[in-house]
Amino acid sequence: MRNPARHATIALTLAALFGGASLMPQVASAAKHEDRVAMGKEVAWDRKTGNCLACHMMPGGNLPGDIGPPLIAMKARFPDRQKLFDQIYDATKKNPESRMPPFGKHKIISNADIDAIIDYLYTL
């Protein structure tokens, strides 16, 4: 398993040693993004919060459901991040017959969690 904090520390140390101080904000930003991706995966896979695996197949997931579509190629399928946010926030707005819970509308998960889930989904 990757350790984003350790990688960021190493990168920042190397940047400081070799005069790459201008790279430090970029490295810190990349580490922060990796942390958000990890958090998004945790929320998505947690049975008490996102529980995406109950309905969707996701790479690396065990015992996925097949009610919803597989969560693959998400950035290509949802190039407009806001549309994916809206789908997770309240799928019934676009499709009143949707079986997907309105996670944001019913405050099952926060907007920040939805954003982190999207960061994770965009890696799939």
Query: How many domains is the chain built from?
Result: 1
pTM above 0.95, yes or no: no
pLDDT at 1: 47
State how far the Cα of 22 lies from the Cα of 68, in Å rounded to an integer.
Answer: 44
Cα within 13 Å of Cα(24), Cβ side: 12
Q: Which domain holds residue 20?
A: 4-121
The CATH number of the domain where 108 resides is what? 1.10.760.10
Q: Along the chain (124 residues), what's the average pLDDT of each consecutive run of 10 residues?
A: 58 56 59 89 93 94 90 96 97 95 95 97 95
Structure tokens at 47: 């049975």
Read out DSSP for 27-91? HHHHHHHHHHHHHHHHHHH-TTTT-GGGT---TT-SS--SSSPP--SHHHH--SHHHHHHHHH-H
